[in-house]
Structure 1
Amino acid sequence: MIPFLTILFYLYINTNLKYLKKMRPISGTLIILSVLFLWFFLIQKSDNGAQYIKLILGQETIGRVIKSKAHIRPFYYYLKQLPFTLLTLIPFFSLGIFSSIKNIFNIKKWKTIDKIAFSIFFPNFIFFSTISGKLDIYLLPLYYGMVIISLRFIEVKWPNFKYKIFKKILYINIFSFIICIVALPYYTNNYTLKLVTTILRNSNGNIYSYRFPDAKNISLEINRKNLKDLPLDKINSTEANSLILVRNKYIDDIYNRDTKIIYQNKKYTILEKRNEV
């Protein structure tokens, strides 16, 4: 989808959609379909191949676009994440994209590199913002365009100081990278599910989650077919010795409902149901 939207948008802003015919889209589509057919044919012959194909063509593609079962985020989710993922480039990117949109009606006068960068970012960012399921990694192919937009803004706005700015950005990024390496073990132990999955994997009882539908994504990692997300009125009726995974911001809802904490970090808690009711 990204190559298609990027190429189509680039040709559109160059008023050169006729060039699509020279790209032989029908021949290209047939080649792609042939490769997919061979791939699906080989998968079909393996164990659970049919279920896997159904999952890929349904839940993991169309399902994530229209009505995702996990990672459901609002339209503005990526706007909130960009300051964290772009780090030192975010002020230059913000000014650069604002300048690009402001001068959108003069786009024919833009340099080719600016058109390409804008075509990589703009249509694809809109597309990924509108789909139901959202993850930061979905935007990885767009960062080429974002970086070019940022650096081109610096180059145009401060041509005499651009190399000094580039060096400072590089030094800050290197320093930030070192900080991340040092802080990674602490972050992993206190803000991720790494230790949580280890505990749940070694449990012989039933495992549930509460107000945490995305927890189903660790089902395979803890050797379970599914991880059921329970509503509040079902907590009391869970079996003795069952484990309940909950994010700390919701722990007050279910704590002391015949439960005890067996593990807790800064973000997640595992509760064990003590007695049947």
Structure 2
Amino acid sequence: MSRKLSWLLLALVAALAWIAPALLPDPAAQDLSASLQAPSASYWLGTDALGRNVAARLAAATQISLSLALLSALLAASLGAGLGLLAAWRHGWTERLLLALADAVLALPGLLWVLLLSALAPGRTWPLYLGLVLTAWVEFFRTTRASAATLLGGPQVQSSQLLGFGRIYIVQQHVWPALRGTLLALTALAVCNAVLAVSALGFVGIGLRPPAAELGLLMTEALPYYADAPWMLAPPVLLLLATVLALQTLGKKHGLGA
């Protein structure tokens, strides 16, 4: 997939998430007399078993899933990059302690951390945020620490220090320009992983609870009716696939400097 197509897909997904909900009816409104209606002029993507508008629920689900993923990825990037820079600058026991913490987090698979934390408060959003951030910050930390350690020992940074420039200047002029492309690529991949994780949790019934709309939950609700009402299952599956492919393409190509 090309970068232009990836950006176009993400723009459409963003429009669905943050513009379409204002134009569509209430995603939780039920009309049992319109249960399992096929796509039509009144219901663009049909209705579900409770007569709820599938297009409205898809837009609401996209907004929730993307909001969770974006916020958790940005928090993980800020935390991981900040700790990585701290470890590279301070060395000593600070670096050893942070490395041990990162290794402890990696001792368990990332999705398992999210599952364990989500089980503490099923249906709440804060365990999802905490679990996603906990699993994603390590990659930012290790990448930033390794790259910053090399940069901070380089002649350009040493020259800036001899000239009396402070740490903020060094980060802005030397560290950030060198790490920007890699961190943006990691952020795109972190959003991708978070979208998948949130959908997986919703699919197995541990994530957000009804009547909230979320991509994984939409798939779970549609499965019992996939033979009679395929219009319920296809939209969230195709939307998740397009979003993941676009984010992976941008992350990999940006990381390679394409």
Q: TM-score range by the shorter chain?
A: under 0.3
TM-score normalised by the chain length of structure 2: 0.28
**Greater helix fraction, Structure 1 or Structure 2:** 2
Quick check: which has more Rg, 1 or 2?
Answer: 1
The structure richer in strand per residue is 1
| TM-score for both structures, normalised by structure 1 | 0.26
Higher RCO, Cα 8 Å, sep 6+: 2
